Amino acid sequence: MNPNWLFAISLGLGLTLFGLAGSGTQLGQIGLWLDNRDSPYTAQANALNPIIDCMNQVDVPWRMVHQAYLAEGKPRSTAPGAYDLSSQGGPDIDLAYRSSCSGDIGAKLRRLDPGNPLLAATERYQQVLARFVALTKDAHMHRLGLGRTLDEAKLDELVRQLEIQAPDYLQASNAVRQLLLPQDVEHRPQQLQRLEQRLGRNVHWALLNYMIQARSTMDLLDDGIRQRTLTPAQLTQATQELRQAWEARQQFIGSIQDQETREALYLWQLIAAPSQHYLQALDTLHRDWLQHAEPQRLGEDFHAVTQGYDQMLYHYNQLARSRY
């Protein structure tokens, strides 16, 4: 199988990050001590979660609206409303920033690991983000046609500032992601193991196992595409394992359920549609690859895979952040 198409894909990697521990509110030494009493993996996960939450609530929808604006050719007339994050189903950029990114989101990580380079990258990201929020905080009103009318000079200045600040934002965001992603993933197997030790392979374990498998599949595609080592057989195996993890929920449906089981099954329900889109996109990518589709088509297939994953994880995070 010729892997040359891997070169042609413009990598739209899964944007959303997956924190396994709850976001929590304990930022003091007592909370950190309790985390470490549970396990160092829990402490690390909880320390990263405020940063992950900021990236998920602001950076993910920001990149989506940015990509849409670029795809439209960056029309001057729509620039004032282009960065309205609420178009992605969440709050507007000002509210999202103030609720998830404006505080000391590195406080717990600083206590746990004061030399972690992620801290400096996060502070830099917050500074750049604050400037961008100040520039685009009225984007929601402008998109609705209710914002203050900008004269030609002010519109020109806005467009000029977007041209300057958007690349700065992406650079700062990428720096955080490059450091955060490895730290986000390294403790997953240990947390899953601890969950099994405590509760067995119950519905919570099955759900968490599926989410880990879903991210592992994205990691497989990411690494395989970057290194040009991905094969159809690997894609087939990963998709089969992901589908098996998804179907594990069936054993809990119809059984006697307590409140926590019902909540976990509700989470399964929330992610059902995007999970199916994710699996279908993986199947389509595999089929088109075997049929020697053009690189552009395969690139579109891969983009559909990442969109399916991002949408699934977005819905998961809306309810799961306080539980895992």
Supply the DSSP symbol for 52.
H
CA–CA separation, 216 and 238 (whole Å): 9
Question: Is the pTM value of this prediction over 0.75?
Answer: no
Q: 61: Cβ–Cβ under 8 A, 6 or more apart, which residues?
A: 85, 88, 90, 96
Residue 320 pLDDT: 59
- How many residues does this entry show for the chain? 324
- For the segment 243-277, what is each residue's pLDDT rounded down to a tens digit? 999 999 888 887 667 777 787 888 888 889 989 99
Task: Give the residue from 18, 43, 42 showing the smallest Cα distance to 32.
Answer: 43
Higher per-residue pLDDT: 12 or 236: 236
CA–CA separation, 223 and 296 (whole Å): 20
pLDDT band at 290 (very low <50, low <70, confident <90, very high): very high
pLDDT band at 163 (very low <50, low <70, confident <90, very high): very high
| Tokens standing for residue 91 | 């709050």
Supply the DSSP symbol for 148.
P
Residue 56 pLDDT: 85
Q: 251: Cβ–Cβ under 8 A, 6 or more apart, which residues?
A: 206
- For the segment 202-218, what is each residue's pLDDT rounded down to a tens digit? 888 888 889 889 988 98
Residue 39 pLDDT: 58
Residue 41 pLDDT: 64
Q: Is the pLDDT confidence value at 310 over 90? A: no
Residue 10 pLDDT: 30
Residue 323 pLDDT: 52
Q: Is the pLDDT confidence value at 31 over 70? A: no
CA–CA separation, 32 and 48 (whole Å): 12
The amino acid present at 321, given as its one-letter code, is R
Residue 228 pLDDT: 86
